[in-house]
Structure 1
């Protein structure tokens, strides 16, 4: 296995991780920001108020995009296993 192959695998692993985890992280960030703005304007300082909307958004995101996320992870895993089989001989 050459250095270029290792760098390619690492690059693709990071890209797949960002592709799969990105939507959940971005949506939870946006919801957290909106809840924080709401808390600042109403002066409600409840610490647990941010968790429930984030959990709901994450659950909806996983329900809507979960099959796509799983498909992307399976494609990456299959590619890695095929590379291992080729290297092993």
Structure 2
């Protein structure tokens, strides 16, 4: 098997990781920004105020996106399994 195939697999794997991570991080970043603007507007300097909303949104994003993420991982795993005979022979 040529090196380009392995490079394509690694590139797909890194892209998949970036998509799966961003699916849970981006909602948390948005909520953190909203809470920070609220804290700046009201002059509340409590560090723990932004923790709970970000935690709830991150867990919610993981719960609602779990089916989609597992589907993406399974399709990638199937691709890897299908490429095993080609890499051996």
Q: Tell me the TM-score normalized by structure 2.
A: 0.86
Q: Which 5+ residue runs of structure 2 have no aligned equivalent?
A: none
CA distance in 2, matches of 1:48, 1:7: 43
The offset of 1:39, in angstroms, is 0.9
Tell which deviates more after alignment, 14-23 or 38-47: 14-23
Q: Secondary structure at the match of 2:53?
A: helix
Give the paired residue count: 89
The offset of 1:31, in angstroms, is 0.6
Task: Find runs of 4+ consecutive structure 1 residues off by over 4 angstroms.
Answer: none
Alpha-carbon RMSD: 1.5
Q: Does 1:56 align with 2:51?
A: no
Corresponding residue for 2:72?
A: 72
Q: Which 5+ residue runs of structure 1 have no aligned equivalent?
A: none
